[in-house]
Amino acid sequence: MVHLVRRPSASIIALVLTLSAMTLAFGQTGPSNPPANTTAESSKPPATSSTPSNPNSAAAVSAPSGYQLSANDSIAVEVFGEGDLKTAARLNAEGNVSLPLIGSVYLGGLNLTQATARVTELYARDYLVHPKVNVTLLSYAKHRFTVLGQVSHPGNFDMPETSPGGIDLLEAIAIAGGYTRIAAPERVSVRRKDSVRGEQVFRVDAKRVARGEGGGFKVEPGDTITVGESIF
């Protein structure tokens, strides 16, 4: 007895081959997923510094050459290898500053080099062997001067930040708006209070100063300038 076997049609064969190819491709690639670290990165909190903040750490400012420390200036004092002695402090009205171990130190009127030498001397005297000290300026005090008399805008003015220790007389008058039409530049007086010499009064001929004769005149913090009036 002969059995007849019917061959599948060409369309059925093509369908089977297509399904097989799709199954094979799916098994090799798998479902499309985002990179494993994408979610992890987005869930991380913002990075923060592990270094604790130091209240004594502050940026030093550039002091003009020869600048002398005065009341209300802020300074930083560091001793190499002695972290406990690091200090940021403000000079009081008398020009003193309080430092660890050595207590109150008078630094008023000293420039930074002299202040460093003074603090080094005091630490070396009783506490440290060959200390390496560094004194830096953190901020200037508000240094002011006054201009009165025949100027356009009499009043009190701050010293420029670039020259906190003093400015030229002509610059001070310019800051006050310059002379009025009845001013007498040859009759300028500058009143100054000094803790050692007391009160001083300087008579200045600003006309000669403007011509470059007799040298300039430096106005210091706390000075009071008075521009006289012309006598017709």
Between CA 46 and CA 53 the distance in angstroms is 18
Alpha helices, DSSP H, located in the chain? 10-29, 36-43, 112-126, 169-175, 206-210
Whether the model pTM is above 0.75: no
Q: Is 121 left (phi over 0), alpha (psi -120 to 50) or beta?
A: alpha
Backbone angles phi, psi at 54, to 5 degrees: -110, 115
Give the sign of the dihedral formed by CA 109, CA 110, CA 115, CA 121.
Answer: negative
Amino acid at 185: P
CB 149 within 8 A of CB 228: yes
Q: By mean pLDDT, which of 68-72, 99-103, 160-164, 208-212 is the weakest?
A: 160-164
What's the pLDDT tens digit per position in 114-167?
A: 999 999 999 999 899 999 999 999 987 778 899 999 999 999 999 887 787 789
HSE-CB of 179 using CA atoms within 13 angstroms: 17
Backbone angles phi, psi at 103, to 5 degrees: 75, -140
pLDDT confidence of residue 165: 79
Between CA 73 and CA 92 the distance in angstroms is 8
What is the fold of 74-139? wza like fold (3.30.1950)
User: Domain coordinates of the chain in residue numbers?
Assistant: 74-139, 144-229
Amino acid at 198: G
In sequence order, what are the beta bridge partners of 203? 189
In what order do the strands lie in the sheet containing 74-79? Answer: 87-90, 74-79, 133-139
The domain 144-229 having CATH identifier 1.10.10.10: the answer here is no
Report which DSSP code applies to 151.
B
What's the pLDDT tens digit per position in 7-37?
A: 555 555 555 555 555 555 545 444 445 444 4
